[in-house]
Amino acid sequence: MKTHILIGFWRAILNLPDGNQLPFMIEAKEKGTTTTIEIINASERILVDEYTIEGDSLFIKMPVFDSEIRAQITSGNMSGSFINHSRSTLNVIPFSAKYNVYDRFDVANTKTPVNINGRWQTIFSEGTADSSDAIAIFEQNKNKLHATFLTSTGDYRYLDGVVDGDSIKLSCFDGSHAFLFLAKYDGNIIEGKFLSGIHWAEPWNAVRNDTIELPDAYAITYMKPGYNKVEFAFPNTEGEMVKMSDKYFHNKICIIQIMGTWCPNCMDETKYLAELYKKLNKSEVAIVGLAFEKVMK
């Protein structure tokens, strides 16, 4: 009998250092005569349409990112590895999944959960050279918690989790980023740790601040001394050199996007700019994406 993926929900686990488990949800759905896979993070659903089954082995190629899941399927279980090919070290994480499990995190505490709904002023790695500021946005409904962390250069995407008594548990997985946030709230401050895959871990803390805002983007984006205009010269996808001084750009408003296809925030921005460009007068506006990509050898 040919191995197949059972239709329905699966709870997947990535096993991180020190016994920490990063959960995420998978839904297998029937679509006509085929089965599709979706990875779920809060309101985000990532469609995985490139996978193969060979014998009892499942090979999932993650969309956009250079990563995959390789797992053995046995009845209602999967076990194997998540492999991130964009990293040269610390890039293989043990993976498992169990069928017909609907909760991302288990909730052990039966007490009413603490209320953390709102905006929180956040510091990662406080007092160190790696220290950075962020704004945590928590959307809580009883024990269910959706969240993100805003920074001056992007955000931490769709975090999904629970408030378990005074404990906070959040995770997300998109094929590139494997984020796990664990913390406790003592009524004044949230303190915890952040793990990114198996290659990075750092402490974080947050205090409630409903008026906190990010720095003005125009104040942190500026010309370097000695420059008064933007110039660039980069090869396009056909290998042809494109320069800001080309006739094509003369007398046009030019929107320059600095991005990479490995960056989910950039991909969101690209979708927005693509829709915007359809509505603009092409003789008056140009949009250029300057992408910093991994060079495959």
The number of C-alpha atoms within 13 Å of 218 and in the hemisphere containing its C-beta is 0
Q: What is the pLDDT of residues 217-253, one digit of tens each?
A: 888 888 889 988 888 899 988 999 999 999 999 999 9
* Residues 107, 168: Cα–Cα separation, whole Å: 10
Contacts of 86 (CB under 8 A, 6+ apart): 65, 66, 67, 176, 262, 294
Of 128-142, 220-234, 261-275, which one has max mean pLDDT?
Answer: 128-142
**How many percent of the chain have pLDDT more than 90?**
75
What stretch of H or E contains 270? helix 264-279
Residue 157 and residue 168: Cα distance in Å, rounded?
Answer: 17
Taking CA atoms, 229 is separated from 163, 167, 233, 251, in Å, by: 49, 50, 14, 14
- Kindly tell me if the per-residue pLDDT of 293 is higher than 80: no
CA distances to 66, 70, 105, 106, 151 from 262, in Å: 9, 21, 27, 31, 18
Cα gap 172→157, rounded to integer Å: 8
Structure tokens at 271: 């979708």
Task: List the structure tokens of 142.
Answer: 């009883």
Question: Nearest CA to 146 among 104, 184, 109?
Answer: 104
Beta strand 253-259 with 285-291 is parallel
- Highest mean pLDDT pick, 108-112, 161-165, 260-264, 291-295: 161-165
Q: What domains sit in the chain, N to C, each tagged with a CATH number?
A: 8-99 (2.40.128.120), 118-208 (2.40.128.120), 233-291 (no CATH)
Burial class of 43 by CB neighbour count within 10 A (0 to 12, 13 to 18, 19+): exposed
